[in-house]
């Protein structure tokens, strides 16, 4: 699973996003890629929810603040949920789809 996280995106939503990306990679480093895209998607969403302590599907706010991802800067510690929904999780899922079909 950790192969899905390399390379890191060039663009993030807020300053906490790269730290979430890295925490998710760390959580999934020992796991093999599940055999279906649906299973990968469920695993990624569950990992995000656990790492950020937020139900991405249920949370209506565009962003949340998490102290553990605060490492300096104006939006430090802020995780942009909309970017995770629209770009970052879909990127990981597309990478898994490519690996599973190739």
Residue 41: CB atoms within 10 A of its CB come to 17
Largest Cα span, the chain? 41
- Could you say which residues of the chain have pLDDT below 50? none
DSSP H stretches of helix in the chain: 17-28, 37-52, 81-83, 89-101
User: Phi and psi at residue 4, in whole multiples of 5°?
Assistant: -65, -25
**The predicted structure's pLDDT at residue 72:** 73
d(C-alpha 29, C-alpha 67), whole Å = 23
Tokens (6 digits) for 25: 């990679």
**The predicted structure's pLDDT at residue 102:** 73
**The predicted structure's pLDDT at residue 71:** 79
User: Phi and psi at residue 101, in whole multiples of 5°?
Assistant: -90, -15
Whole-prediction pTM value? 0.93
**The predicted structure's pLDDT at residue 14:** 93
**The predicted structure's pLDDT at residue 74:** 66
**The predicted structure's pLDDT at residue 39:** 98
d(C-alpha 20, C-alpha 77), whole Å = 10
Domain ranges of the chain: 2-97
Taking only the tens place, the pLDDT of each residue in 83-99 is 999 999 999 999 999 99
């Amino acid at each position: 699973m950790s192969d899905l996280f390399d390379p890191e995106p060039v663009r993030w939503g807020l300053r906490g996003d790269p730290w979430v990306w890295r925490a998710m990679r760390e959580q999934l480093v020992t796991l093999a890629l599940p055999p279906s895209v649906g299973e990968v998607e469920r695993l990624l969403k569950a990992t995000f929810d656990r790492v950020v302590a937020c139900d991405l599907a249920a949370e209506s706010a565009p962003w949340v603040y998490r102290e553990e991802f605060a490492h300096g800067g104006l939006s430090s510690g802020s995780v942009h949920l909309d970017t995770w929904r629209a770009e970052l999780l879909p990127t990981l899922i597309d990478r898994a789809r490519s690996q599973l079909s190739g």
